[in-house]
Structure 1
Amino acid sequence: MTYTVRYTRAARDDLIRLFQFQLERDLQVAERAVEAIREGIGVLKNFPFTCRKADEKNPFLRELLVSFGTSGYVVLFEIDDDTAVSILAIRHQLEEDYH
């Protein structure tokens, strides 16, 4: 089964924020970071249940870890039904929490 992956407005804003943060340092790094996030999210099209649970009480709220450099990113998502996954937020692993 293949899932459709949707981004909430907040998740899109997070992606832009993370890109701009990296862009201040280096354009190529910023582009590679966004590409790593997108490739990581691609896994959700086929295997969303392989990611860790973000909430013990909600088995459909999960987190995907995306490696990048010496750390990476955390993607918060929810499995909506048997056809769709919604990306709720994206943060750098060194950030304290989602924005």
Structure 2
Amino acid sequence: MTYAVRFTLEAAADLDRLYDFILQRDATDFTLAEAALQAIRNGFATLRTSPFTCRKARSDAPFLRELIIPFGRSGYVALFEIEDSETVTVLAIRHQLEDDYH
């Protein structure tokens, strides 16, 4: 079974924010920013094939889950919901060192 992965407007804005954050540290480091986005995209491949392997975000919400995306010494966390047997919706994405989702 393959799931369609869709993004809320907030999750799409998170991707832009994370990309911009890397460029704000070093405006010439497009390679690092692109590598981070590629790592996130690669992580989303898991959502297309096996979203139930990801950890539950809350014990009382079995379809609300978190995908850990390794990158460098830390990485990213994507909050998503398994909507039905065909659709996964990414709700938010954050760096692992951030306090919480925005």
TM-score range, shorter chain: over 0.9
Distance 1:23 1:83 in 2: 35
* 2:58 matches 1:55: yes
Q: For residue 29 of structure 1, what is the aligned residue in structure 2?
A: 32
- 1:42 Cα deviation (Å)? 1.2
Share of identical aligned residues, percent? 59
In structure 1, what is the Cα distance between the partners aligned to 2:95 and 2:50? 22
1:66 to 66, 69, 74: 69
Asked if 1:86 is matched to 2:89, the reply is: yes
Aligned amino acid, residue 57 of structure 1: D
Q: What letter is aligned with 2:35? A: R
How many equivalent pairs are there? 99
Equivalent residue number for residue 16 of structure 1: 16
Q: How big is each residue's C-alpha offset from its partner over 1:36-65, in whole Å with a ceiling of 9 and x where there is no partner?
A: 001101111000000000010010000000
TM-score (norm 1): 0.98
Deviation at 1:81, TM superposition (A): 0.2
Task: Find runs of 4+ consecutive structure 1 residues off by over 2 angstroms.
Answer: none
SS in 2 for 1:91: strand
For structure 2, the residue ranges without an aligned partner over 5 or more in a row are: none
Residue type at the aligned position of 1:73: Y
> Secondary structure in 1 aligned to 2:69?
strand
1:39 paired to 2:42: yes
Q: CA RMSD in A?
A: 0.5
- Which residue identity does 1:19 align to in structure 2? Y
Q: Is the partner of 2:80 in helix, strand or coil?
A: strand
The CA deviation at 1:19 is: 0.3
